[in-house]
Amino acid sequence: MQPVHGLHHITAIAGPAQENLDFYAGVLGMRLVKRSINQDDPGTYHLFYADAEGHPGTDLTFFPWAQMAPPRMGHGLAVEVALEVPRDSLSWWAGRLQKYGATLDRVTSRFGDSVLPLVDVHGMRLALVESVRPLSRRFEPWSGGPIPAERQIRGLYGAQIWERDAAPTETFLTSALGFQRLATEDGWTRWGFADAPGVVDIRETPDARRGAWGVGCVHHLAWSVADDPHQLAVRAQVEASGGRATPVIDRFWFKSVYFKEPGGVLFEIATEGPGFAVDEDPQHLGETLVLPPWYEPARAEIERVLPRLTVPVAAAHENR
């Protein structure tokens, strides 16, 4: 068994791209580290938000498909994304989010963590988490954003999933990806890794309808592998466990393999390199539209259909 190395990224579906950018870069203070296109739908942006260097495990990405309807919540869908924040920062974050009109719930406890649930600008459920578990995480604070380093989002913590029947998914997580069962609480079972970020909280919802994608929901969860041989080994484990995996697809900044877990949630295994700095100066990530080389001949046509974006200009550490 070769386990994955926790979360690589999470990709979700957004509404208008500028509104998404204003919320994630302007309000949450994540750095836009890559402004590119959906390589399967090149008339759509693919926006990547992460820490200052775009480390795997810090990266929340979006396809702005503003024409889509809202999602149909139900089983076979990831229903919430959790982001890790530093200890003793939730009250500060609650004040900031209230200032910007975000929809918040009260701070609660999950598996010993302090959690602030909220809803983003397009209806996606988020949670800011102060983790009680020590996590091995690469994180570089971003000096160019509105959030002081000691308050910044540290990266992805995990996701919640609804399943009609949890057992096949839980077996698959262990046999194909190397997850461990961590705890059970209030109808949720937490799966993850000893010290890597990337928990999956599963709730069995046999009476719910089948979920469907829409604006404001998760598109897929991507799990990290070190390199090409590791990816091929995990791909073989996926297929041996009954998954139907795609061939390896070159996304230029990493390589990807896609498959659905038994309950229907789309998963990906993505390599940790070469990374976002392979084609941009690290000091200027995300400032211009970057295309994989095979799309460069179509740049003029692509730029004509994509809306212009303006990165929010933040006052230096406006809420210190």
Kindly list the averaged pLDDT for each block of 10 residues, start to end, along the chain of length 320: 97 98 97 98 98 97 97 97 97 97 97 98 98 88 95 97 98 98 98 92 97 98 98 98 98 98 98 96 96 97 97 59
| 3.40.190.10, 3.10.180.10, 2.170.16.10, 3.40.1710.10: CATH of 7-305 | 3.10.180.10
Task: Give the SS3 label for residue 109.
Answer: strand
Give pLDDT, residue 313.
72
Give pLDDT, residue 221.
98
Q: Which residues contact 75 (CB under 8 A, 6 or more apart)?
A: 162, 163, 164, 205, 206, 208, 209, 210, 211, 263, 264
Query: CB neighbours (10 Å) of residue 236?
Result: 13
Give pLDDT, residue 245.
98
Bridging pattern class, strands 180-185 and 188-192? antiparallel
Give pLDDT, residue 318.
57
Cα–Cα distance, 291 to 181 (Å, whole number): 40
Q: Following DSSP, what letter does each residue of 132-170 receive, concatenated?
A: SS---------TTSSS-GGGS--EEEEEEEEESSHHHHH
The sign one gets for the Cα dihedral 286, 292, 295, 298 is positive
Element (H, E) at 50: strand 41-50
Structure tokens belonging to residue 197? 């970020």
Bridging pattern class, strands 41-50 and 31-38? antiparallel
Give pLDDT, residue 195.
82
Give pLDDT, residue 135.
79
Element (H, E) at 267: strand 266-271
CB of 118 closer than 8 Å to CB of 127: yes
Cα–Cα distance, 199 to 6 (Å, whole number): 8
